[in-house]
């Protein structure tokens, strides 16, 4: 029962934006800092997020879904 599955190429895996379903395998995937879902560059923007641990606002990368749901 020899099961050899050598995966030597694990550099960049394909990803898909959860907002617009944009797919890419050439660039690095980026994730929203709030929902941690993979988001493309178009739908990821810097935003100030309140850190309750230290009471400071920090710059995070937030997807437009999380950004628009914030009042």
Residues at the contact surface with Zn ion, assessed by CB under 5 A: 17, 19-20, 22, 32, 34-35, 40, 43, 63, 66
Which residue, 6 or 26, is less far from Zn ion as judged by CB?
26
Q: How far is the CB of 63 from Zn ion (least distance, A)?
A: 4
Rounded CA-CA distance 39/17 in Å is 4
Q: Which helix (H) or strand (E) holds 46?
A: strand 44-51
Paired strand residues for 31: 38
Which residue, 33 or 57, is less far from Zn ion as judged by CB?
33
Q: How far is the CB of 11 from Zn ion (least distance, A)?
A: 22
Q: How far is the CB of 34 from Zn ion (least distance, A)?
A: 5
Question: Quick one: tokens of 5?
Answer: 């599955």
DSSP type of residue 27:
S
């Amino acid at each position: 029962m020899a099961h050899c599955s050598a995966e030597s190429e694990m550099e960049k895996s394909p990803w898909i934006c959860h907002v617009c379903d944009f797919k890419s395998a050439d660039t690095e995937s980026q994730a929203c800092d709030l929902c941690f879902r993979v988001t493309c560059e178009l739908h990821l923007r810097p935003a100030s997020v309140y850190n309750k641990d230290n009471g400071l606002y920090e710059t995070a990368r937030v997807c437009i879904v999380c950004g628009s749901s914030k009042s």
